[in-house]
Structure 1
Amino acid sequence: MQMDSDQLKDAALCALKFIEIYTGKDAKTKRYKALRALADMTLNDLERGKSDTECKYTAQDIFLSVTSSKSFEDSDKRNVNRFLKDLHDALPTHEAMLKQIAIDNNFVAIPTYNFSASVGSGSGVYTEHFITPLERNLYDTDIPAEDLKEGEIKYYLESVNNLPLLFRWINNFEISAWRQKLLAFAIIIGILVIVCLFLFFMLVFLHTKNGGLEIIRALFGTLGVSSFIAFPLRHLYLCLTNRIISAPILLLPNTVDNAQIEYVATEKLSPITGRPIRKFRVVIYSSTCPICQSRIEVENGGKEFHNRLIGRCTEVPLEHVYSFDRFLCKGRFLRHL
C-alpha cells in the first residue's frame, strides 16, 4: 500500500510540474485548473495520512477547490464534468512530456485521470474523480535527465491532435520493407512525371509557330503541376535526410502554429537489414523562455539561420532566439545581450 501511495504522490507532483511548465495555447483552460485541483487535494490528503484509494473527489469538491483559488466562477459549477471530460481526452496526448518531467525529477509515476460511475443524480456531484498513477519505466531514458547550464533551455515533446483528415495517415506511418519500396517507387514516378512535363513543354515550344499564348499556357501549366509534385517530394526528402522538418501549415489544425514532422526509429527491427524500422510522426517541441517566461516554439531559421530549426520566443521573437537539438532536447541562446 505504501508503494501505491508513493506512486500516487509522485504522479500528483508530476501533474503540478507539468502545469507549471506547459505553455500551449490551451494551457490556461479550465481542464488544467481542474487537474491542479485534483493534484493539490491528492497531495494534501496523502499528507494527512489517507490511503491512495481514499483520494477520490466529487465534481463539487473540485469546484470548491478551484473556486477558492479564484480560477472558476459560479457559472462554471455545472460545467466541471465537461472540463474533466476535456482533461480525459487531452492528458494522454501529453504522455511524452509527462515522462520527461518524471525523468528530470526522479518521479516513479506519471498521472492519468480517471472517474467512477455516477451513483446519484445531479450535475456530477456524486461522481468520483481521481488521479491514477501510471508507473514509469525506469529504463525509459531516451532523453537523459541533465542539469541545464547557464544559457541553456530544455525542450519538451508534445503530441498534435485533430490533424486534418487528408494528412492524418502520416502520423505514426511506419516505413516497413514494402512501404519503403512503395515510397521509393512514388518518388521515382514523381520525378519521371516532372521530367515528362518539361519534355512536353519543350515540344510545344519547338513546334509552335507564332503561338506565344500557347507557349505561356504550356509553361504555366508545366510549372504549376511540377510544383504541386515537387513540393511534397522536397519535404519528404528533407525529412528522410535531416530526420526532422517543420510541418507545412496545411498539415496542422487551427489551434497549432508550429509543429514538426520527425523521422524516428521504432523498437521494431527490419527482418531484412536488422536495423530499426523508422516512422513519421507529427509532434511539437516547445520550451519556456528563461528571459520573459513566454512559450518558445521551434520553426525554420530563415535567412539568418539557414537550413536549421531554431527555438523562437512567441513574445519577443526577434531577440529571444535559441538553438534546437532534437536528440538532447536542449538549446542555447543565439543572441548576445
Structure 2
Amino acid sequence: MLDQLEHLKKSFEPCLPRGRAYDIVAYMVDATLKQLTTGSSAPITFNKDNFVAACHESHDPGQVDASKWVPKSQALHGALQRLQVNLGTGERVVLHEQVGGGRGNTNQYWLALEEKNTEQASGQQPPLDLDIHYRQTAKGEVKPFFWLRWVFREGELRNRSPKGIFFLSSLFLLSVAWILLFAVGVLGAYVSNEPLTLGNLTRLAVCVLSFYFVWRLVYHPWWQLIDHRVVLAPGGAAAISENPCQLEMYRHGTEKWTRLVRFTADCPLCGGGIELARGKPDQRQSLVGRCQESPHSHVFSFDRALQIGTYIGPPLPMVLKRRDL
C-alpha cells in the first residue's frame, strides 16, 4: 500500500489536473501516506468536513455547506482512476465509502488497495451514473468589471429600477447606433465615386470585421439574454481576474433581475471541472457543460431551472463504462 501510494503521488505531483475532485484525492493520498509512514496499518478515514478544511479556500467547514461543495462519489472515483491510468496493471488504489445513516452520521471515505479486476469479477461494480448537478455561485461572488460596479450592486440588477432602465436603454441605443454607423459606412463606400482599389477593399473588410466582432462579443449576448435566460458573459462584463462566467436573467416575485453568475459541476467520468460553454458546432443546445479535461468528449446538457444535466457527448467506450482503465 505504501509503495503504491508513493508511486501514485509521484505520478501526479508535477501536473495535477484542475478540479476539486483531484484536490480531494491528492489530499487523501497525502494524508494516508503520512499515517502509513508512522507505522500504522489502520486505514485513515475522512468525512466531507475534512475535505472542506483541507481543500476549500476558506478552510472553515462552518462557513461552507460540505454536502454541496464536495463532489459526488462518482467524480471522486473518476479522478482517482484517471490518475492511475499510466501506472500499469495489477494492484491499484481504490476509494471506499461508508454511507452514514441518521442524523449526525456522516459518510466516511478511505483509500484501500485492491486487484484491478476485483470489482468487475465480483459483480459489485456500481452502474455508471452520468447525471450531474450544477453549483451556482452566491450573490455578489462574481465581480463585475469596474465600469459596471455602479450598476451591478452586490452582483445583480433589478431590470425595472431607474438604474436598470437607464442601463438597458443605453445598451439598446448603443446597439442601434452601432448598426447605423456600420450602415452609413457601407452606404458611403457604395455611393462614393472612388475607384475600387485594394485600399478601399481593405478598409471595407476592416469595417465589416470590426462591426461583427464588437456586435458578437459585446452587444449580441445582452439581446440573447431575453430569450435564453443564461448566456456567456459578454466582453467587459466581468472583472479581468474572474474565471469564465455567465449572465442570468431570472424572476423573483413580480420583478426580473439580471446578475453575473457561474455554473460549475464535477465530471463523473474523469473528475475534472465542468464549465458552461457554447454548444456549437457539435451540439444543438446553445449552452452545454464541457469538462475542462476533455471538452469535446465529456459533454453534458444544462437545465437552468433544475440545475442538472446528463451526458450528451459521443458514445462512451466499453472500457470506460466498466471503469476498467
Q: Say yes or no: does 1:293 pair with 2:278.
A: no
State which drifts further: 281-290 or 174-183.
174-183
In structure 2, which of residues 194, 218, 224 is the aligned counterpart of residue 209 of structure 1?
A: 194
Distance apart, 1:285 and its partner CA: 1.1
Alignment of 1:152-167 (within 5 A): 152-159=131-138, 160-167=141-148
Offset of residue 202 of structure 1:
1.7
TM-score (norm 1): 0.49
Structure 2: unaligned runs, 5 residues or longer: 1-17, 29-49, 70-127, 317-325
Secondary structure in 1 matching 2:250: strand
Report deviation, 1:27: 6.6
Q: TM (normalized to structure 2)? A: 0.51
1:168-193 CA deviation, whole Å, 9 max, x = no partner? 44430221154336624641452244
Q: Does 1:226 align with 2:211?
A: yes
Counterparts of 1:187 and 1:207, CA distance in 2: 30
Measured against aligned partners, the alpha-carbon deviations of 1:17-47 in whole angstroms (never above 9, x if no partner) come to: xxxxx9569977xxx99xxxxxxxxxxxxxx
1:312–1:322 CA contact under 8 A, matched in 2: yes
- Supply the RMSD in Å over aligned alpha carbons: 4.3
Structure 1 or 2: larger helix share? 1
Structure 1 portions without partners, runs of 5+:
1-21, 34-67, 73-82, 103-148, 268-275
Relative to 1, partners in 2 of residues 1:161 and 1:229: Cα closer, same or farther, differing over 3 Å? closer
TM-aligned CA deviation for residue 308 of structure 1: 2.0
Within 2, Cα distance between the matches of 1:198 and 1:99? 55
Kindly state the Cα deviation for residue 242 of structure 1 after the two structures are TM-superposed.
0.4
Structure 1 vs Structure 2: percent identity of aligned residues?
19
Question: Which residue is equivalent to 1:134?
Answer: none
Find the residue that maps to 1:326 and give its secondary structure: coil
Which residue in the other structure is 2:58 paired with? Answer: 87
Provide the aligned length of Structure 1 versus Structure 2. Answer: 209
2:159 maps to 1:175: yes
Tell which has more relative contact order, 1 or 2 (C-alpha 8 A, sep 6+).
2
Which of 278, 285, 294 is matched with 2:256 structurally? 278
1:202–1:288 Cα change, 3 Å: same
Measured in 2, the distance between the counterparts of 1:100 and 1:180 equals 39
The one-letter amino acid paired with 1:205 is Y
Q: Measure the CA separation in 2 of the matches of 1:234 and 1:301.
A: 17
| Residue 179 of structure 2 corresponds to residue 197 of structure 1 | no
* 1:272-310 superposed Cα distances (whole Å, 9 cap, x missing partner): xxxx22222111111112222222222111201134211
